[in-house]
Amino acid sequence: MLKKMPICNYLMPVQHDPVASGVTGKGIPHGQAHVNRSAQPKHCCPVTLQKMSAPASTSSPRRSSRILKRTSQVSKNTTKPTGQPHRSRVMKNKPRPHCTTNAGPLYLRVNRRFLRILPATTAAQPNPQSFPPLPDTTGNLNVIIANLPDLRPFTGDTVDWLIKVARLIFEPLGTSSLYTFTTESLEWWLDREMEPMLWRLVVQGEQLRATIYEFRPNNNIPITLTRKSLHHMRSMTTNTSAPQATAFSGALLRRDQSCIVTQYTGRRVLAASHLLPRRLGDLGVQSVIQRFTGPSTIVDRYDPALGVSLFLSLDAYVDTYEMGFWTNGPDQYVIHSFIDEPLNIHGGDLSQNEQALHGHQIALHTHDPSVALPLVGVFNWHYLQCVLKKFSTPAYQAIGNIQYFSLPFRTRDDNDDESDVDFDDDRNVANPPYPSYLWELSELRACQHLEAVERNHAITTWNSGVSVP
């Protein structure tokens, strides 16, 4: 009696090449739609295959002529293996797909060959004409580097915030765009220049990712960076500027009638807040307005369209670029706090059931049509200063002449006859000369009270020891 052979010995799987085996659109070789047994994997169990397809006769089974013919074709068309597969040689020259994450650092950069050179500024020339880039300039300038979770409170989930901020930095009234890479990795491109064929345009509404975003000006026209304001303290009102300051405050009170954030109406707790610092000077203010709003009728730093009425503590945050106004529509804004600690809408520590300052929405209204509301470009400039203070890189801050020119300013420590106010004058209370003024004033008054108590106690003790003759 003939011995049965395992079915796997004569039904070897055939690896069908799409060309050599004549595979149809459905993946079935021509003429073999009914011979599915040949497609069984090589490691199938012999017992199972015997049950499925073992011949009924006891004679040795014969191979199908079609299978033999097809096997012969495969053998003839199979190329001999070489030292390195042809596929590997092709993939070696192809860029690898990139992968971005929702965590890690985000980079906003620009190629240095597009940056015009900033000259030094003076009081007479606060915004002098910049010079063209030097020939053969290469490399990238990272303007912002920040972890994506740190940006989320300001950006949300899309790239829209970043696109707008990038334009405010590089081209406030322009329409240039951002690009990001489509191949390789962030580490690969970090120190490499952009290759247009391997980068794509970033469009509004797409998801913000931890990756590299590069600003590319339209038509590769060189651009001028927006300068950074080193406004750390407020200047005091002097006898020469007092009339202008009084007119500025009066106009804001007529127009706003209350704090635009808290709606407080008491004059003693309101400040006439300058969104563009006075120390920029009239010419400096005009250059900012020209860059961020275009042609304007504003001619000096005391124009009411440059300020808003704010609660005293909020004014201190605005003055030091720790609170900004994000445009949310015509005369509508969202308050963004750039302080790490959560604050309430009055500028104090946030407690339970209190309204948070960050994310608070406001709408501006005028109660005096003769006094114009601030221009959106003014809010944009101030907001950008908040962003640059918190997120700009040392490389950006080290750019030559990147700071605005600032006029000399006074503090309460200056002893000058030009100052027309005492430290605790009501005008300083209503318009603090620097952020910590109100706290220092409170400390001063507490010390004065303590000294008075101790002096009275000493006098009482001395009187008790005096004998009456």
Q: 266-310: per-residue pLDDT in tens?
A: 888 999 999 999 999 999 999 999 999 999 889 899 999 999 999
Mean per-residue pLDDT, 322-340: 97
Confidence of residue 434 (pLDDT cuts 50, 70, 90): low
155-195 pLDDT, tens digit per residue, is: 999 999 999 999 999 999 999 999 999 999 999 999 999 99
Query: What is the value of pTM for the model shown?
Result: 0.69
Q: Which distant-in-sequence residues (6+ apart) come within 8 Å of 337 by Cβ?
A: 317, 322, 323, 343, 357, 358
Say how far apart CA 61 and CA 13 lie, in whole Å: 17
Per-residue burial over 49-62, b = 16 or more CB atoms within 10 Å of its CB, e = otherwise: beeeeeeeeeeebe
86-109 pLDDT, tens digit per residue, is: 444 444 455 566 555 677 999 999
Mean per-residue pLDDT, 407-420: 43
**DSSP helix, strand, coil percent of the chain (3-state; round to 5):** 35, 15, 50
Structure tokens at 26: 């459905």
Can you give the residue ranges of every domain in the chain? 7-73, 105-220, 242-404+429-441
Does 34 have pLDDT greater than 70?
A: no
Does 80 have pLDDT greater than 70?
A: no
The candidate with the shortest Cα–Cα distance to 325, out of 376, 283, 255, 259, is: 376
The candidate with the shortest Cα–Cα distance to 239, out of 410, 428, 417, 414, is: 417
- Ordered DSSP codes for 220-273: G--B-PPPB----SPPPPBTTTHHHHHHHHHHHHHHHSS-TTT----GGGEEEE
Mean pLDDT of the chain: 78
Read off the amino acid at residue 95.
P
Question: Residue 333: helix, strand or coil by DSSP?
Answer: strand
- Looking at mean pLDDT, say which of 11-25, 29-43, 274-288 comes out highest: 274-288
61-75 pLDDT, tens digit per residue, is: 454 454 444 444 544
Cα dihedral 418/421/423/426 (nearest 10): -160
Neighbours of 101 (CB within 10 A): 10
* Residues pairing with 34 in the sheet: none
